[in-house]
Structure 1
Amino acid sequence: MATGLFASSPSAASLDSILAAVPYCGVAATPDDLWQRWNLDPWLIAAFGGVALAYLVHARRTPGPIDSRRSTWFALGWAVALLALISPLCAWAVALFSVRVGQHMILTLVAAPLLALGFPSARARPWLAGLAFLLALWLWHYPPVYAWSLRSDLVYWVMQISLIGASVALWQAVFATDSRQGERIAVGIASTVHMGLLGALLTFASRPFYQAHWGSTEVWGLSALADQQLAGLLMWVPGGVAFGALGLAAFLGWWRRADASQALQAGSISTGKPITTVATSATP
């Protein structure tokens, strides 16, 4: 049923319309010109500079000393996101769907958690952030919508910004240390499941879904189907490991706090200290 959802009935006209449009990153890269295909778009570089400047101004205006550790996390995430968008990955992703998915995994699984650690703690509910990430991930990998991102620069940037934004919100939610531990564990597990499901769908499909890459994979030694299967594995394995580990870490953190609370309560009983006082002091 899922395969039917992704499968489309390609026509020569629709394929020609995709190939006729020049994507934001230019024509598909080849092995001969890959390392010459840096994306030095001045608007993109200026936008990243503006984000860095805004972060620095906000940090200086925040009362108290600047948190150097938080600033370092932000700088690392900022640099990873910039490199993912200006490096030859941009043009390579026009040729191979697997490289596009790899770029998205770098943005969502590497840059996003670093940025989340660099930003102030969010107060959004974990389930809301998880839902936003689910919608962004599945929407932008739905073949007709994905093809649209290759025909329109505006749609391309809506795709990239929404994926990064939803990912940062998700990581902020699961990194939080409030009392919603069970909700964060559930969101981490759900993210593992739905990303793995999408990866499995791409890996085990019997036909390629993404028409825009049908004529650009052979020069890289891959069929369109093999390219899609590789993309599925890139999404399935790293995504499953990252969110699975995150869910496990959240569960272990909850378990340790529960043990500590029980130990404090047991100590209060033996010393005659009121349990209500200990329970209050053990609350995150």
Structure 2
Amino acid sequence: MRALSRRLAFLSALLAAAPAAAHPGHHHGAPGWTWDPAILVPLALALALFLIGWRRIAARSGRGAAWRRRLGLFVAGWLMLAGALVSPLHEAGERSFALHMTEHELLMLVAAPLLVLAEPLAVLLWAFPAGARRGIGRLVARPWLAAMWRWLTAPVPATALQAAALWGWHAPALFDRALRSPGWHAAQHASFLATALLFWTAMLGRRGGRAAHAAGQAVAALCLFATSVVSGGLGALMAVSDSPWYAGYAALGLAPFGLTPAEDQQLAGLIMWVPGGLVHALAALVLVRQLLIQGEARHADAL
């Protein structure tokens, strides 16, 4: 318990000092910003397309509160995404598993749901000329593609895909490969973000009529509770382990602030276990509350 208290005490210091944390004994020195074009170009392109599309739609329909809200949600999600991938936190994660885990949690628990709540797909479509919009519309309306999208964004498949990505990439062989190779590291982050976007689309998206929506919400709430157990279970295993799982971090020796590789991993496990479990559990409770309100409304209508 004393060791656990020590790790919790280090958490706030680790996160607060991530931009300036020194890397003792490591050739990178202090972490800096990541100016990789493979990251910057997609980020800049996504923001530019959304802003162009939003401006065109707003010019037609007026900049009401709903449209301003969608803009705010997208920009907030984009900033979280950029902060995780471009800020010194990204490079600091090469030295500390706890900071690496913080980066992943920002991608999956903060950036992804904010982007989904902004409902960006239609806005992004409006960034293209009219002819291109019609072509893209005909493409996505094809039955096989529409069916695939419905399956990918259904609660159970989306939950299974995210769980598979989470557990698969945290297998020591794959995680160490991601630490050694920039390409594999990019694939890891891309799969985390893609499955998180599908997951939160399934949890927060709009589906069908009132009855179908209520049924979808009930399944989504169960999937959220299941995800809190699945991700929390993985974090708990890390938090109680006395030996480091990943050779890449074990070889570095002490992490920032004097944490051993095992302690750094245990702190990373706590970050996945506690905040991750709370986010999913709270989202599930919100859906349950909505279901109760809808049930009361239907009961009142029937009287």
| Contact 1:29–1:95 (Cα < 8 Å) also in 2 | no
2:32 aligns with: 37
1:103-182 pair list within 5 angstroms? 103-120=103-120, 123=150, 124-178=153-207, 179=213, 180-182=216-218
For the residue of structure 2 that corresponds to 1:193, the secondary structure is: helix
Quote the offset at 1:131 in angstroms. 1.3
1:39-58 pair list within 5 angstroms? 39-58=34-53
Q: Distance in 2 between matches of 1:29 and 1:90?
A: 14
Q: Can you give the 5+ residue segments of structure 2 that lack an aligned partner in the other structure?
A: 1-20, 122-148, 208-212
| Contact 1:34–1:88 (Cα < 8 Å) also in 2 | no
Q: Deviations over 1:72-97 (max 9, x none)?
A: 10111101110111111122111111
User: Within the alignment, does 1:204 sit opposite 2:240 as a pair?
Assistant: yes
1:252 aligns with: 289
TM-score in terms of structure 2 length: 0.73
Q: Distance in 2 between matches of 1:111 and 1:252?
A: 24
| Contact 1:185–1:247 (Cα < 8 Å) also in 2 | yes
Q: Deviations over 1:140-165 (max 9, x none)?
A: 11111011112222211111111111
Q: Deviations over 1:187-219 (max 9, x none)?
A: 111110101110111111232111101132415
Deviates more, 1:169-178 or 1:107-116: 169-178
For the residue of structure 2 that corresponds to 1:94, the secondary structure is: coil
Structure 1 residues 240 and 219, CA, compared in 2 at 3 Å: closer, same or farther?
Answer: closer
Q: Distance in 1 between matches of 2:73 and 2:157?
A: 24
2:11 aligns with: none
2:68 aligns with: 68
Q: Deviations over 1:24-79 (max 9, x none)?
A: xxxx9616976552112234222211111222344356574462211210111101
For the residue of structure 2 that corresponds to 1:37, the secondary structure is: coil
| Contact 1:198–1:236 (Cα < 8 Å) also in 2 | yes
Q: As a proportion of its length, which structure holds more helix?
A: 2
AA in 2 matched with 1:102: T
Q: Distance in 2 between matches of 1:190 and 1:197?
A: 10
Q: Distance in 1 between matches of 2:74 and 2:275?
A: 22
Q: Distance in 1 between matches of 2:110 and 2:271?
A: 14
AA in 1 matched with 2:264: D
Structure 1 residues 152 and 215, CA, compared in 2 at 3 Å: closer, same or farther?
Answer: closer
For the residue of structure 2 that corresponds to 1:91, the secondary structure is: helix
Q: Distance in 1 between matches of 2:176 and 2:112?
A: 24
Deviates more, 1:166-175 or 1:248-257: 166-175
AA in 1 matched with 2:288: F
TM-score in terms of structure 1 length: 0.78
1:228 aligns with: 265
| Contact 1:29–1:91 (Cα < 8 Å) also in 2 | no
Look at both structures and tell me which one has the larger radius of gyration over its CA atoms.
Answer: 1
Q: Distance in 2 between matches of 1:134 and 1:184?
A: 15
Quote the offset at 1:241 in angstroms. 0.4
AA in 2 matched with 1:134: A
AA in 1 matched with 2:113: P
Q: Distance in 1 between matches of 2:31 and 2:175?
A: 25
Q: Distance in 1 between matches of 2:161 and 2:301?
A: 38
Name the % identity: 31
For the residue of structure 1 that corresponds to 2:245, the secondary structure is: coil
User: Within the alignment, does 1:186 sit opposite 2:222 as a pair?
Assistant: yes
| Contact 2:231–2:276 (Cα < 8 Å) also in 1 | yes
